[in-house]
Chains A and B, each alone.
Chain A
Amino acid sequence: EVKLVESGGGLVQPGRSLKLSCAASGFNFNDYWMGWVRQAPGKGLEWIGEINKDSSTINYTPSLKDKFTISRDNAQNTLYLQMSKLGSEDTAIYYCASRPSRYMAYWGQGTLVTVSS
């Protein structure tokens, strides 16, 4: 069974940084692109970016490229999202997802990030 478990969310002050993790199991993590999507409270879905199998290709939505960094550790079956200079507009549930073929297939349950003083 494919399982994706995000962690690392919580309350963070404006301007600070936070690093999210996504632990994968039930599939060969090394063989899949992975991605991040977020959802602000009561709003729709926003694609953040994606990373290929060996981390040689990383794509971001342009508005987040200077603030967010996606990485992965294939030995640990873990995907990461490093977020910096956080503002209230970054308050959202953050989802990781497996990307078998240019679409997000399986999603985690999400982790809530709240940016507030």
Chain B
Amino acid sequence: DVVMTQTPVSLPVSLGGQASISCRSSQSLVHSNGNTYLHWYLQKPGQSPQLLIYRVSNRFSGVPDRFSGSGSGTDFTLKISRVEPEDLGDYYCLQSTHFPFTFGSGTKLEIK
């Protein structure tokens, strides 16, 4: 299985500040069709996960442009600028290039 290593585990941030979360895969996430299937989710406390970014850098419907995704191959980053209280929660990356699909272990974004 592809192992997704997410860092940091915990990320204290100041409101209005910037946050950066890393996700590294144990093998390349470039599919044979040329697409890279790396996605990002936010799970707010007591809620189900919600999709933020799909295929590395595409914001899902309704996601503010404060969220941006980048990366290639095995190394990916989610950046959140101007952090707001509603951004707090657990962030997960997901790879769906290789079966079985696998999630990162999560990053908890919390107030400094």
- A102 contacts B37, CB within 8 Å? yes
Q: Which residues of B contact A60 (CB under 8 A)?
A: 100
Q: Which residues of B contact A106 (CB under 8 A)?
A: 51
Contact of B50 among A44, A101, A102, A107 (CB under 8 A): A107
- With an 8 A cutoff between CB atoms, is A41 at the interface? no
Q: Whose C-beta in chain B lies nearest to the C-beta of A59? A: B99
Given A44-B103, A47-B100, A103 and B92 contact (CB-CB distance below 8 Å): no
Which parts of B92-112 form the interface with A (CB within 8 Å)?
92, 94, 96, 99-106
- A103 contacts B103, CB within 8 Å? no
Q: Whose C-beta in chain B lies nearest to the C-beta of A60? A: B100
- A47 contacts B55, CB within 8 Å? no
Q: Whose C-beta in chain A lies nearest to the C-beta of B92? A: A45
- With an 8 A cutoff between CB atoms, is A13 at the interface? no
- A108 contacts B103, CB within 8 Å? no
Q: Which residues of B contact A61 (CB under 8 A)?
A: 100-101
Given A44-B106, A95-B49, A104 and B100 contact (CB-CB distance below 8 Å): no
- A44 contacts B100, CB within 8 Å? no
For the complex of A and B, the 8 pairs showing the least CB-CB separation, nearest first, are A61-B100, A47-B101, A107-B48, A45-B103, A103-B39, A103-B54, A102-B96, A44-B106
